[in-house]
Structure 1
Amino acid sequence: MAVRKRPLSPHLQIYKMPLTAGLMSITHRITGVALAAGTLVLTYWLLSIGLGEETYQEAQAALGSIFGLIVLFGWTLALFYHLFNGIRHLFWDAAKGIDLKSAHLSGLLVLASASIVSVLVWIAAWVARGGA
């Protein structure tokens, strides 16, 4: 029996994953998990309100730290990414924007929209708190 040379899959380090097919889909799943974890943080903060002043101050200190603010910004970014990408999927369910060019463009639009809206929400929160 002759040995045939079969094609090999590209190695992960040289394979360029398509934006729409791979990265956006995987990121959508990851942000879903991040939102679930962030909901636990939100629940902790809400429970701290009812558990007394000391517990609330500890929660505020944790969430107001540099690390806490980075986590909260990441959660905000995940929220808007998941929202906009979910809307994109609703259009796909209606067979709109499925061709490669539209899918790529809508993927970039999701990334830009999520980033811009997240920054605007944080600017609005900063202004609402009094600026600095």
Structure 2
Amino acid sequence: MADMQKGRRPLSPFMLGKYYRFQMTSVSSLLTRITGNALIAGTVLVVWWLLGVAMGPDWFGPVHWVITSWIGRLIIVGSLWAMWYHFLAGARHLIFDRGYGLKIQTAERLGWAAVIGSFVLTALTVGLFCLI
């Protein structure tokens, strides 16, 4: 017989609230996909800058203004964080592919390590370049 309660159940595991609670493994998966796509913004900005350098002072002036503005710096630092996170999440996946770290507690720790490590590496990288 058909389940009469079917209409009251959640239709997707992504329904937040009382039906679904995000776990580190799902957040890490989403962040990996988001940061992979977000790296495109930083890449476009760097390619635009390189084109500006190649085209001469008339083209370079506006590009340099955008990159040195607060929004340009935000995009560069955000892309740097995305690069570090994507790198660490990729290393985490390589560990999983070898068959290690598959227990839930270990997978969550590796996820947190990728998040915290990406912020630490971003801060170190920005600090290093600010000293130059």
**For the structure 1 residues 116 and 3, does the alpha-carbon distance in structure 2 shift closer, same or farther, using more than 3 Å as the test?**
closer
Percent same amino acid at aligned positions? 27
Equivalence for 2:64: 60
Match of 1:62, SS?
A: helix
Which of 17, 28, 31 is equivalent to 1:27? 31
Q: Which runs of 5+ in 2 are unaligned?
A: none
Equivalence for 1:78: 82
CA contact (8 A) 2:38 2:79 kept: yes
Give distance in 1, aligned partners of 2:14 and 2:28: 20
Give distance in 2, aligned partners of 1:103 and 1:13: 22
| Pairwise CA distance, 1:3 | 5.2
Root mean square deviation of aligned Cα:
1.7
**2:81 partner letter:** L
**2:22 partner letter:** M
- TM-score of the aligned structures, taking structure 1 as reference length: 0.88
Q: Which runs of 5+ in 1 are unaligned?
A: none
Q: CA-to-partner distance for each residue in 1:8-50, whole Å, 9 max, x for gaps?
A: 1278230211111x11101101111111232121111111101
CA contact (8 A) 2:41 2:75 kept: no
- TM-score of the aligned structures, taking structure 2 as reference length: 0.88
1:105 and 2:109 aligned: yes
| Pairwise CA distance, 1:4 | 3.4
CA contact (8 A) 2:24 2:111 kept: yes
1:5 and 2:9 aligned: no
